[in-house]
Each structure stands twice: as structure tokens, then as C-alpha cells.
A and B are shown apart, each in its own frame.
Chain A
Amino acid sequence: MRSTFSTTTARNIFYGGALFSFLLFLALTFHTESALPQRDARALLEANPQVAVGKRVWEENNCIGCHTLLGEGAYFAPELGNVYKRRGPEFIKAWIKAQPTGTPGRRQMPQFNLTEEELDALVEFLRYASEIDTNGWPPNIEG
């Protein structure tokens, strides 16, 4: 680095660059927020209070600790963002109720002792998640 490039110059470029990047990021965030209503299936969320209840059931049983949801989470168990479309509501409820399988050597899902209302709410949450416009991800129904 040449001597004309002083530490002060370097510092000013840093603060300027960081501030500019963050403002650009904020601008993109505002635009994203305005574009989301067309994409994020909020009609389902607003029409049915069960969806929010189901999200709480999802969170308070730490489902993300094994599963992915829209590809984010743990990679130990199947993707659930599209499970509503892959398996349907009845299968999901029956599966959760039947855990753990107890098959020796197989990965085990705990029994969460969910009530019928909680199961229904969770299914509604997963239905809502499956309606989000994800730009065509995942590549196929297996997630």
C-alpha cells in the first residue's frame, strides 16, 4: 500500500462503505416488505387464527431441532415446508401421534403429547407454510 493511502483514508472508506451498504440493505428491506403481501400467503394467516397457534406449537416443541422448514433448520429429519402437500393433513396427525416408532437403530421422533386442537393448529400452520411462494423450491415433492 502506497503512502498516499493513509489510515485515515482507509477508515473513512470503511465508514462510508459500511453506511452505504446498510442503507441500501434497508431500502431493499422496505421494498421486500411491500412485495410480501403478494407472496407470503398472509390471507391464510389472517383468516384463520389457528395458523398462529400452530406456529407456537411448532416453536414450543422445537421441531426445527430435527427438521427443516423451507430448507432452514436441522438436517436430521425431512423437510416440512411442503409436507402438507406431500402427505396430507390426516397422515401428519397420525404420524405425530404414533411416535416414537421404536424401530431399533432408526432415528426416533419423541412423543410430544399434543392435544387434538394443537394437532389441528399445527396442520393449519403447515398448510399455510406450503402456500408460501418460494420461487419454486424445493426441486421436487421429496423436499
Chain B
Amino acid sequence: MKYQSQAVAKPYFVAAIALFVAQVLFGLIMGIQYVVGDFLFPAIPFNVARMVHTNALIVWLLMGFMGAAYYLVPEEAERELHAPKLAIATFWIFLVAAALTVLGYLLVPYAKLAEMTGNDVLPTMGREFLEQPTITKIGIVLVALSFLYNLSMTFLKGRKTAISSVLLLGLWGLAIFFLFSFVNPDNLVRDKFYWWWVVHLWVEGVWELIMGAILAFVLIKVTGVDREVIDKWLYVIITLTLVTGIIGTGHHYYWIGTPGYWQVWGSVFSALEPIPFFAMTLFAFNMVNRRRRNHPNRAATLWALGTGVMAFLGAGVWGFLHTLSPVNYYTHGTQITPSHGHLAFYGAYAMVVLTMISYVWPKLNGREANGNRSQVLEMWGFWVMTISMTFIALFLTAAGILQVWLQRMGANPLPFMEVQEQLALFYWLRVIAGVAFFAGLLAYITSFFKGVEGSPEYRPLAQEASA
């Protein structure tokens, strides 16, 4: 840690991992409800568990991005953060708002929550991933403004690098597109059309800028490759991202009432969306192969390579699987969608946040890298979580193919619920993979408590030696 104020990243990372645990626990509840329908009913109905599962994911990734940015921007700008106390205050406001929102989901019926929070004044609730009460959404905007003000001031007053420029552009984009969550026309088609301006333009647009910048930052640190080379890769990757991804939004506009030409625009451009992800994989491997030093933090290097591969598989390959409109006609709204969703979110965004935490956490605790035992445990966590998530995606893909066949393609299409009963085997296998994922998560968390133990590589971070 070069600047004291980088330490504000710490609480963000702790909260991110705590919310990650909550996300996985509620995911397990939902996995069981898929096969034992009345599990925990009526205490936690499926829709409530799902809100907690998806909203916890969004908030922990945002916490992770924020922690990453509070560490990264001062280091790149070569100066202290503009207002460290504001960053800490913002953290607590964000955490309390998130906790209150989750308690609201769990403790009162959703309709009651809508009434209590005045949803009728500015109705924004009850749309997938944007279930937060309107006042929470306003809170998120204020938190984002405080965060962006703090980082932009730091950026403007300091050294401006490609990495910090791209990161800030991505974060500003994130905040600006979130404003579309306040757009909720009565016209269902228009509602859905602009809903994607938050959801798609986040995950297949500006979030990839954030991911690229974080990955580039960690790769510079662990490989020592010239910034010049890394910067060029970064710009090429994000050019490919936005040129394919923005018009690629069209792959959500096939069947929601929008004109038929979106099937052409959406299919062509989104079919190219795997290219930037493949470039990201090449980028990670190339830089590690051309490394100028063997960084003692091998776990961070593993995460960086892993996120490159898994983002390509989850977002790129599994996205391509059902992105062409003639295929999507059959797969739209089946288990194929969550199979892609799970692998893509884990591979791209969960793993890039964990990459950053892996690199930064030892630094925040005054050492270059964690001890051997800690790193071995962390790498166990990496492999168990990554393999488990791959199996979750494979089982859901199998369930999805069977669902498409039974419900949409066969001579005598069966009703939804009858089809679901026939998919039970794959849902059970998914639950098993989910439990394995949770075990991997526990191993990962345990690694934090091993610190410097058993470490041949441990050396205190000398004042200037960190390079």
C-alpha cells in the first residue's frame, strides 16, 4: 500500500465477501425449492429468496468495484484519495441501505414494502433485478455520486493513466445507465426496452470496461509487463466490447414487442460479443507468459488467468449458445438463460472482484503476498468454486435442452409444471454442485485467517521495495 487512504478499500471488500456468502446461501435455498417446492414456504417464498440472491450479487459486486476503485485510483494517480472520510461514510450509508432493503424483503410482504416506501409516488419496483424500493434506488444514486466525486477529484488532481481513465469511464457509465431504473412506463414494451438499458448496458457494456481496467491493473502488478503494452491491449479489448455490445443489446429485443429487424442487428452484433472476451483471455495469458518477475502472490495470478478463461466460457461461449434469434426463439426464458447467467456472472464479475481482492488484501495488511498455507487454501477455493460453477452451468444447460424439447419442440408440447417435474434429476445435481460451491467458498474465506502462516515467501513490505 503506497498511500494511506487506499485502506478505505478494506471495509468494502469485507462487506462484499459477507454479501457473497448471503447470496450463495439464498441460492442454495432456491436450488432446493426447485425440487422440494414447499421448502421454507411460506416463510421464504421463492420470489423473496430470488430477490435476496440477485440483489446481494449486485450489491457485493458494486462493493467490490468500489473497493477496487478506491485502491486503484490513488495508486494510479500517485496521490492520496481526495476525501477518505467521505469514502468511509459512503460505505456505511451503502451498507445500512442494503441491509434495510434486504430486511424489508424478508420481513414484510413485498406489496407492504411498496406501500411503506411510497412506491405509488414514483413506481419503480417489481421489475427483475430492480426490485429495490424507490428510496433505496435514490440512495444508490447518492452513494454513486459521492463515490464518483471522490474518485474523479483524485483522478483530476493526479497522474492520468489509461487504466484509471477506463475504470472511471466504466464507473460513470454504470451510474448514468442506472438512472434508467427510474424509467417505468405503463407501456410494457417500452418498460422492457429501457429496462435493458440498465441491465444489458451494465453487464455487456460498461461493466466490461471496469473488468478490463481491474484486470489490466492486476496484470501490470503481478507480471511487471510494460504499461505501454497493457494499455494497448486494454483499449483494443474495450473497443471490441462496446462496438459489439451496444448494438448487441438487440438480442434482448427479439420477442418483447419490438420490430423484427432487431433479430438481424441483435444476432449479428451479439454473435461477435465473444471476441472481446476471447481477447481478454489471450491478454491474461500473454501478459503472464511475458512476465518480468515471479510475483509471490501466485493466487492472484491464478485468479487473473481464471477470470479471463471463465468470462470467455460463461459470457462468450454460453452467451453465443442462445444468442442467434432462430435458436433464441426456442430457448428464450428457459433454463438455458440461468445457465449462461450463472457462469457469466461468476466468470466475469465475481472472479474479477476476487482477483482484485486477492492482490490487494495482503497489501492492505502490509505484506506483498500471503503465506503459503493461505495461498494454497485460496487456490483450493478457486478450483472448487470454479469447477462447481461450471457444473451448475452444465446441469442447467442439460435441464434447459430437455425443457425446450418437451415444452416447445416435441409433437405434443407439455405444460410448464409437468416439464419441470421431468427435469428434477438435473435440478438435484445442480443442488449438489451448489453445495460444493459453498464448500469452496468456505475454503476461500478460511484462507483469510491463515495470513502469513507457513510462509517461506513472506517478507515485510519494505518502504519502496514493492515496485
Q: A45-B186, A100-B42 are in contact. List 4 more A-B contacts (CB 8 A).
A: A10-B239, A56-B120, A59-B126, A70-B192
Interface mask (A13-49 → B, CB under 8 Å = 1, otherwise 0): 1100110111011001101110110011110010000
A40: B residues at CB distance < 8 A: 187-190, 257
Are B415 and A64 in contact, with the CB atoms below 8 A?
no
Given contacts A11-B235, A51-B186, A55-B186, contact A71 B333 (CB under 8 A): yes
Are A14 and B186 in contact, with the CB atoms below 8 A?
no
Are B232 and A10 in contact, with the CB atoms below 8 A?
yes
Looking at the assembled complex, report how far the CB atom of A21 sits from the nearest CB atom of chain B, in whole angstroms: 4
Are B189 and A36 in contact, with the CB atoms below 8 A?
yes
Among listed B81-89, B362-370, B406-414, interface-contacting one: B406-414
A89 contacts the other chain (Cβ, under 8 Å)?
Answer: no
Are A137 and B332 in contact, with the CB atoms below 8 A?
yes
A100: B residues at CB distance < 8 A: 41-42
Looking at the assembled complex, report how far the CB atom of A39 sits from the nearest CB atom of chain B, in whole angstroms: 5
Are B238 and A14 in contact, with the CB atoms below 8 A?
yes
**4 closest Cβ contacts across the A-B interface?**
A65-B47, A59-B126, A71-B333, A107-B37
For chain B residues 412-463, which have a beta carbon within 8 Å of chain A?
Answer: 413-417, 420
Interface mask (B360-388 → A, CB under 8 Å = 1, otherwise 0): 00000000000000000000000000000
Instruction: Name B's A-contacting residues (CB within 8 A).
Output: 30, 33-34, 36-38, 41-42, 45-48, 50-51, 109-111, 114-115, 119-120, 123, 125-128, 131, 162, 186-190, 192-193, 228-229, 231-232, 235-236, 238-239, 242-243, 246-247, 249-250, 253-260, 262-263, 265, 329-330, 332-335, 337-338, 407-409, 413-417, 420
B46: A residues at CB distance < 8 A: 65-66, 74, 76-77, 107
A110-B38 Cα distance, complex, nearest whole Å: 11
What are 16 inter-chain pairs, A to B, with CB distance below 8 A?
A: A10-B235, A14-B238, A14-B239, A18-B238, A28-B247, A31-B259, A62-B51, A62-B110, A62-B131, A65-B131, A71-B333, A77-B46, A102-B38, A105-B37, A132-B188, A134-B256
Given contacts A10-B232, A21-B247, A133-B257, contact A142 B408 (CB under 8 A): yes
Interface mask (A70-104 → B, CB under 8 Å = 1, otherwise 0): 11111111110000000000000000000010111
Interchain CB contact (< 8 A) of A35 among B120, B259, B330: B259
Q: Which of A17, A72, A134 gathers most chain B CB within 10 Å?
A: A72
A31: B residues at CB distance < 8 A: 259
Given contacts A10-B232, A60-B110, contact A17 B243 (CB under 8 A): yes
Are A140 and B126 in contact, with the CB atoms below 8 A?
no
